[in-house]
Amino acid sequence: MLEQFDALLLARIQFAFTVSFHFIFPAFSIGLASYLAVLEGLWLWTGREIYLRLFKYWVKIFALAFGMGVVSGIVMSYQFGTNWSVFSDKAGPVIGPVMAYEVLTAFFLEAGFLGVMLFGMNRVGKGLHYAATLAVAIGTFTSAFWILSVNSWMHTPAGFAMNDVGQFVPVDWWAIVFNPSFPFRLAHTVMAAYLTTALVVGAVGAFHLLRDRINEGARVMFTMAIGMIAIAAPVQIFLGDAHGLNTLEHQPTKIMAMEGHFESHPDGAPLILFGLPDEEERTVHYEVAIPKLSSLILEHSLDAPLKGLDTVPEDEWPPVAIVFWSFRIMVGLGFLMLFLGATGALAFFKGRLYQWRPLHWFALAMGPAGFVAVIAGWVTTEVGRQPYTVYGLLRTADSVAPLEAPAVATSLLVFVVVYFVVFSAGTLYILKLMGHAPHAGEPGPEAVREQPQRAAGITPASAVDPDRTIGGRGAEAGA
- What pLDDT, on a 0 to 100 scale, did the predictor assign at position 395? 93
Q: What mean pLDDT is predicted for residues 40-55?
A: 93
Q: Percent of the chain, pLDDT > 90?
A: 58
Structure confidence at residue 182 as a pLDDT band (50, 70, 90): very high
- What pLDDT, on a 0 to 100 scale, did the predictor assign at position 3? 60
Residue closest to 384 by CA, chosen among 312, 294, 316, 334: 316
- What pLDDT, on a 0 to 100 scale, did the predictor assign at position 437? 85
Q: What mean pLDDT is predicted for residues 156-164?
A: 93
Q: What mean pLDDT is predicted for residues 50-62?
A: 93
- What pLDDT, on a 0 to 100 scale, did the predictor assign at position 46? 93
Q: String of b and e for 63-97 (b: at least 16 CB within 10 Å)? A: bbbbebbbebbeeeeebbeebbbbbbbbbbebbee
Structure confidence at residue 1 as a pLDDT band (50, 70, 90): low
- What pLDDT, on a 0 to 100 scale, did the predictor assign at position 62? 92
- What pLDDT, on a 0 to 100 scale, did the predictor assign at position 80? 80
Is the four-CA dihedral 362, 229, 191, 419 of positive or negative sign?
negative
Q: Please write the tens of the pLDDT for every residue from 106-147.
A: 888 888 888 888 888 888 889 999 999 999 999 999 989 999
- What pLDDT, on a 0 to 100 scale, did the predictor assign at position 179? 95
Structure confidence at residue 469 as a pLDDT band (50, 70, 90): very low
- What pLDDT, on a 0 to 100 scale, did the predictor assign at position 357? 93
- What pLDDT, on a 0 to 100 scale, did the predictor assign at position 461? 45
- What pLDDT, on a 0 to 100 scale, did the predictor assign at position 316? 92
Structure confidence at residue 475 as a pLDDT band (50, 70, 90): very low
Is residue 470 over pLDDT 60?
Answer: no
**Which carries the bigger pLDDT value, residue 226 or residue 408?**
226
**At 288, is the secondary structure helix, strand, or coil?**
strand
- What pLDDT, on a 0 to 100 scale, did the predictor assign at position 459? 47
- What pLDDT, on a 0 to 100 scale, did the predictor assign at position 479? 31
Query: What CA–CA distance (Å, rounded) separates 69 from 201?
Result: 19
Helices 7-46 and 369-383, axial angle in degrees (round to 10): 140
**At 165, is the secondary structure helix, strand, or coil?**
coil
Residue closest to 321 by CA, chosen among 244, 379, 387, 373: 379
- What pLDDT, on a 0 to 100 scale, did the predictor assign at position 10? 87
Structure confidence at residue 448 as a pLDDT band (50, 70, 90): low
Can you list the pairs that 264-267 forms with residues at least 24 positions away whose Cβ atoms lie under 8 Å?
264/305, 264/306, 264/307, 264/308, 264/310, 264/311, 265/294, 265/295, 265/305, 265/306, 265/308, 266/305, 267/303, 267/305
Is residue 299 over pLDDT 80?
Answer: yes
Q: What mean pLDDT is predicted for residues 366-372?
A: 95
Q: What mean pLDDT is predicted for residues 402-407?
A: 84
**Cβ-contact 91, 81 below 8 angstroms:** no
- What pLDDT, on a 0 to 100 scale, did the predictor assign at position 346? 95
**Cβ-contact 274, 288 below 8 angstroms:** yes
Q: Please write the tens of the pLDDT for every residue from 414-431.
A: 888 888 888 888 889 999
Is residue 468 over pLDDT 70?
Answer: no
- What pLDDT, on a 0 to 100 scale, did the predictor assign at position 414? 87
- What pLDDT, on a 0 to 100 scale, did the predictor assign at position 460? 47
Q: Percent of the chain, pLDDT > 70?
A: 92
Is residue 19 over pLDDT 70?
Answer: yes
**Which carries the bigger pLDDT value, residue 304 or residue 454?**
304
Is residue 313 over pLDDT 90?
Answer: yes
358 Cβ contact partners less than 8 Å away, ≥ 6 residues apart: none
Phi first, then psi: give them for residue 228, nearest 5 degrees.
-65, -45
- The mean predicted confidence, pLDDT, of the chain is 87
Can you list the pairs that 361-366 forms with residues at least 24 positions away whose Cβ atoms lie under 8 Å?
361/206, 361/210, 363/199, 363/202, 363/203, 363/205, 363/206, 363/222, 363/225, 363/226, 364/203, 364/206, 364/207, 364/210, 365/203, 366/199, 366/202, 366/203, 366/336, 366/337, 366/340
- What pLDDT, on a 0 to 100 scale, did the predictor assign at position 45? 93
- What pLDDT, on a 0 to 100 scale, did the predictor assign at position 23? 83
- Please, is 252 exposed, middle or buried when counting C-beta atoms within 10 Å of its C-beta (0-12, 13-18, 19+)? middle
